[in-house]
Structures are given as structure tokens and as C-alpha cells.
């Protein structure tokens, strides 16, 4: 299996979908927005971008199945699975806030082996494959080496439908606001993970996400030298509904704060 070749081809596909998204934003009308469920929005742009991804990725690797956000193709469990989010940051896109991305992950037996995150507006292609390292527009990237939580910049995503852990989440926010250089909320988990992989953020955390939100970014962080886990330290962040991604240097003090609040 030539993961590098597949990854580079997947980058081209992500770029094609991103070009479509970028062009559609110029004349996009909010009247085309549909509500899937509470605070979950979608439009023809998401669906068409997903169709582009499915068609092209199927050409690259026809033996692989798909896990998709917009369900434009049926999920069929196979050894290899593409996990795709055609437009991560749909709410940003709808409101013309230029922070959204295309995310692609490739799994083998539910383990992430390849990841691509394309930040549409900055034309930044993040990509990684198992054992091959992580890259941004052709240049090798790595997580930060900062070891002090007080000097860190963190990213998060606000809960938007699951509010069962709000007290714990707000307590974590309060702690980090007082003990770091700041918090950022971009509105695209895939971008948050990519930015952590390249050292713009020291760490990222969020709960209530889906596999397509994080599959691409998980590979980026791991191949950039970082650590991915669930809030309790478990290793099923892809399907486990909570995720922490951090540089190896800051992971322990960062994760200790989250564990101490969510475990109680």
C-alpha cells in the first residue's frame, strides 16, 4: 500500500472540492440553507462538495468504503474506509466567516493511516500519512516544543448540541483563561487540529464531535509528533466523542486539567 501516493492524490481531490466551495461562496444565498437538526446546518455546497470527494476518492482507491457527514453514499464497513467532511465549518461558511476546510481521513481497521485538511481561504494544504510525517504545502511541520502551560495558546470548540458537560467544560475554560496566553475558537475542528500540528496552537480540546470532524487532523498531529486522546486518556478519540490533541511537550499538564474537571 503506497500511502504517500494515495495521500498526494487525496490532496488534489481536496483542492478540487475546496475550489468548488470557494467559488460558490461568492454568490451564496442563505435561503439555500437547510437545518439537519438543532444547530446543524447544511446546504447544496456541502452535498455537492461531498459528491466530488466521493467520486474522486473512489477512483483513487476503489476498494475502500466511506464514512461521510452528508451521507451521499451508503456506509459499508470495509478494511479501508475514507472518512470525509466536505465542509468543516459550515456555519462559518454560511455567515461568510473565512474559516472552513475540507477534511479527509483514511482508516485501516478503524486506525487512521492518512489525513488531509485543506484550509480553503488561505489555500493551505495540510497532509500526513502513517510513518511519513506531516506537511503544510510541501514543508515538514511539527508540534510546538513549549513545555509551560502558562506560555501556551489553546484552541477549543464550543458545545453546540450536547450540553450535558457544560459545567465541567466552563470550569476548564476558566482555568485555561487564567493560566495560559489565551483561548481561540475557530469554528472548524479540522483546522484546530491542523493548526496544533503545525505549532500555531499548543493544544486543542472539544467534545461531541463526529469521526469526520477529526479523522484528518488526528493523523496530522500524530505524525507531527503530538499526542491524541480522549478526555480520560483513552485512545478512541476518533469515535469516542471527546478529543484532546497536544504537543508531546505540553500534553501532560494540559490533559491533567481536563481530566481533573471531567472526571468529577
* Predicted pLDDT at 255: 96
What does the pLDDT read at residue 48? Answer: 93
Point out the domain boundary residue: 141, 164, 179. Answer: 141
Q: What does the alpha-carbon distance between residue 223 and residue 221 come to, in Å, rounded to a whole number?
A: 5
Domain range holding 8?
3-141
What cell does 181 get? 496566553
Q: What is the pTM of this model?
A: 0.94
How many domains does the chain fold into? 2
Residue (of 57, 71, 257, 59) closest to 177 by Cα position: 257
Could you say which of 75, 106, 141 is where a domain stops? 141
Instruction: Supply the CATH number for residue 241's domain.
Output: 3.40.190.80
Q: Are residues 137 and 173 in the same domain?
A: no
List, for the chain, all residue ranges whose pLDDT scores fall below the cut of 70: 36-41, 161, 264
Whether 74 and 155 map to the same domain: the answer is no
pLDDT score recorded for residue 12: 98
Note the pLDDT tens digit of each residue in 35-59. 766 556 678 898 999 999 999 999 9
pLDDT at 193: 98
**Listed residues 116, 141, 166: the one ending a domain:** 141
Same domain, 7 and 123: yes
What's the confidence (pLDDT) of residue 155?
98
Model confidence over 77-115: pLDDT tens digits?
899 999 999 999 999 999 999 999 999 999 999 999 999
If asked whether residues 124 and 192 sit together in one domain, one would say no
pLDDT of residue 264: 53
Amino acid at each position: 500500500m503506497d500511502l504517500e501516493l494515495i495521500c498526494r492524490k487525496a490532496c488534489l481531490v481536496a483542492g478540487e472540492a475546496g475550489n468548488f466551495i470557494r467559488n460558490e461562496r461568492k454568490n451564496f444565498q442563505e435561503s439555500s440553507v437547510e437545518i439537519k437538526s438543532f444547530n446543524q446546518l447544511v446546504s447544496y455546497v456541502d452535498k455537492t462538495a461531498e459528491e466530488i470527494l466521493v467520486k474522486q476518492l473512489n477512483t483513487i482507491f476503489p476498494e475502500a468504503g466511506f464514512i461521510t457527514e452528508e451521507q451521499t453514499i451508503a456506509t459499508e464497513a470495509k478494511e479501508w474506509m475514507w472518512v470525509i467532511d466536505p465542509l468543516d465549518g459550515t456555519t462559518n461558511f454560511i455567515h461568510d466567516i473565512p474559516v472552513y476546510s475540507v477534511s479527509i481521513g483514511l482508516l485501516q481497521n478503524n486506525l487512521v493511516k492518512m489525513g488531509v485538511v485543506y484550509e480553503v481561504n488561505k489555500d493551505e494544504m495540510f497532509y500526513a500519512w502513517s510513518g511519513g510525517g506531516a506537511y503544510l504545502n510541501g514543508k515538514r511541520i511539527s508540534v510546538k516544543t513549549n513545555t509551560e502551560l502558562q506560555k501556551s495558546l489553546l484552541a477549543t470548540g464550543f458545545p453546540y448540541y450536547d450540553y450535558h458537560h457544560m459545567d465541567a467544560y466552563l470550569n476548564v475554560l476558566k482555568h485555561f483563561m487564567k493560566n495560559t496566553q489565551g483561548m481561540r475558537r475557530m469554528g472548524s475542528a479540522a483546522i484546530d487540529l491542523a493548526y496544533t500540528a503545525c505549532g500555531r496552537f499548543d493544544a486543542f480540546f472539544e467534545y461531541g464531535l463526529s469521526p469526520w470532524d477529526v479523522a484528518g487532523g488526528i493523523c496530522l498531529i500524530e505524525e507531527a509528533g503530538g499526542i491524541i486522546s480522549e478526555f480520560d486518556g483513552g485512545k478512541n478519540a476518533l469515535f469516542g466523542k471527546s478529543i484532546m490533541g497536544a504537543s508531546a511537550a505540553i500534553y501532560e499538564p494540559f490533559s491533567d486539567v481536563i481530566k481533573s474537571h471531567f472526571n468529577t
